[in-house]
Amino acid sequence: MTVNYNQEVSSVNSFTFVKLLMTWRGSIWKSVKCELTMWILAFAVVQSVYRYLMTEDQQKFFEYAAVHLNVRLVHIPLTFMLGFFVTIVVDRWRSVFTNIGFIENVALSVGTLVSGTDHAAKVLRRTIIRYLVLSQVLVLRDISMRVRRRFPTMESLVTGGFLYRDELEKMYKCETMQCVFFEYNYSKTLQNE
């Protein structure tokens, strides 16, 4: 979720950074609270066992093992492994971003391929683009709460100008999963005519 921090940042004082860190809604603490709690508990358990349950010889062996493991950690190329991890994460986000159906390229293609300057060609281009925008709004209604609030019902799509009444009646007749693809198929039919 995107959280707007403009108001807090604009009134800068010495505690603004701490205040931003402690803001719970959308904060970094919220996303790492389980891992942080587990790490703190594990650290407390190891420290308690080391201080209160181990003898002096066991403590020396534990210190020797810790130093030995720390020296051996240098041989593991941690930055190399971290680079692979970052590459995997960036590739995943890139694939998510490239799979989003942006309509700008399709709109440019429709503007190029549907030729003509008469009224029928203009209406055809406008209708195809309107159907593409409508299908994008239908998909985003299921993903984004902001779009769902803007278009809560199918009637609001008619009010917004994305859909006409007769088209809404046709959409009510189709099955649920096919409603998103209804506009694509209908625009393809219009293009073929």
Give, in order, the Cα–Cα distances in Å from 169 to each of 5, 65, 154, 166: 43, 74, 10, 5
A 10 A CB-CB count for 163 gives 22
- Asked if the model's pLDDT at residue 61 lies above 80, the reply is yes
Residue carrying the six token digits 């505690």: 15
Sketch the domain layout of the chain as residue ranges: 6-98, 104-192
- Asked if the model's pLDDT at residue 76 lies above 80, the reply is no
Q: Could you give the CA distance from residue 108 to residue 125 in angstroms, rounded to a whole number?
A: 10
Q: Could you give the CA distance from residue 37 to residue 144 in angstroms, rounded to a whole number?
A: 31
Query: Which pLDDT tens digit goes with each residue over 88-134?
Result: 999 998 998 888 778 888 888 888 888 888 998 898 888 888 888 88
DSSP 4: -
Alpha helices, H only, 51-175: 56-73, 78-98, 104-113, 119-143, 145-150, 154-159, 165-173
With bands split at pLDDT 50, 70 and 90, how would you rate the model's confidence at 183?
low
The pTM of the full predicted model, rounded to 2 decimals, is 0.49
With bands split at pLDDT 50, 70 and 90, how would you rate the model's confidence at 52?
very high
